Amino acid sequence: MSKPLAGKVALVTGGSRGLGAATVRLLAEQGADVAFTYVSSEKQAQAVVDEVHGKGAKAVAFKSDQADTSRAPALIDDVVAHFGGLDILVNNAAIATGQGRTVDDPDADTAALDRMHATNYLGVIAVIRAASRVLRADGRIITVSSGLGSRVGTPGAADYAATKSGIERYTMGVARDLGPRNITANVVEAGLMEGGMKTPDPETLKTLVGSLSLQRMGHPEEIAVAIAFLASPAASYVTGAVLDAHGGYNA
């Protein structure tokens, strides 16, 4: 495989599992030194590091709770101290809480919903703010959203959708702010993934898959390639864009 990312340093939030792990592997295969975060899956994080090292590339994992916004500056300092700089930020870490429960549900776990807002929205903003101060010229910010970031196709997803819509719009503002430094900022709207975060109940899943043009769930690797494209030198004139990789949810 060619190494379009040779000499680049990437940070992928939430790289221990799912799409984040697939992205860590792909960016490392393409030549980047890759730092990633996790919050609780230490063994899985170490397995991803070992796998990357086994292929002769560099990776390091940092335990860093994205819901704690005060952690973001120290995380970015750790990445720069370890790899000497930062070129690519992939905002991938997120949780899905309360899916399927409507906003008027009296038993809603509002504390858990608040933690989701902190993780998926405020935490992403904190990492972008801290990273933006050190990102080198020709840098890349890629924010992982969801089809629900632009269209809420089922009941019971208001809070999750709001976090995704919010970081999409924030990323557009970042594209405007950092464009003069030749740093791009884009969104990938991911879709339902095999092996990813908790999927909805079987009936909702069937409806959701039936609403997709491709009539199937995606694989993390199919979405990681969209992220890798936006991280690559080939995407130098793409900024403020949303790249849909969700099997045609909006088609």
**Chain positions contacting ligand NAP, by CB under 6 A:** 13-20, 37-41, 44, 64-67, 92-95, 119, 144, 146, 190-193, 196-197
Nearer of residues 13 and 165 to ligand NAP, judged by Cβ = 13
Q: Where are the beta strands (DSSP E) in the chain?
A: 9-12, 33-38, 59-63, 88-91, 140-146, 184-190, 242-245
Catalytic residue among 38, 121, 160, 249: 160
Given a contact cutoff of 8 angstroms between Cβ atoms, the answer to whether 144 and 111 are in contact is no
The answer to whether 160 is a known catalytic residue is: yes
**In whole angstroms, how close is the CB of 141 to ligand NAP at the nearest point?**
14
Q: Quick one: how far is CA 238 from the chain centroid?
A: 18
Given a contact cutoff of 8 angstroms between Cβ atoms, the answer to whether 120 and 149 are in contact is no
Nearer of residues 68 and 138 to ligand NAP, judged by Cβ = 68
Which of 128, 131, 159 minimizes the C-alpha distance to 144? 128
Given a contact cutoff of 8 angstroms between Cβ atoms, the answer to whether 42 and 63 are in contact is yes
Pairing relation of β-strands 140-146 and 59-63? unpaired
Report the distance separating Cα 105 and Cα 18, nearest Å: 30
Nearer of residues 3 and 109 to ligand NAP, judged by Cβ = 109
Nearer of residues 8 and 17 to ligand NAP, judged by Cβ = 17
Which of 134, 229, 222 minimizes the C-alpha distance to 183? 134
**In whole angstroms, how close is the CB of 1 to ligand NAP at the nearest point?**
22
Nearer of residues 139 and 220 to ligand NAP, judged by Cβ = 220
**In whole angstroms, how close is the CB of 73 to ligand NAP at the nearest point?**
15
Nearer of residues 169 and 181 to ligand NAP, judged by Cβ = 169
Residue 243's beta-bridge partner residues? 188
**In whole angstroms, how close is the CB of 182 to ligand NAP at the nearest point?**
26
**In whole angstroms, how close is the CB of 174 to ligand NAP at the nearest point?**
17
Q: Where are the beta strands (DSSP E) in 164-246?
A: 184-190, 242-245
Secondary structure letter of residue 38 according to DSSP: E
Structure tokens at 161: 């959708």
* Residue in the block written with tokens 């040779």: 6
Which of 241, 32, 14, 4 minimizes the C-alpha distance to 141? 241
**In whole angstroms, how close is the CB of 7 to ligand NAP at the nearest point?**
26
Chain residue at closest Cβ approach to ligand NAP: 18
Return the active site residues.
160
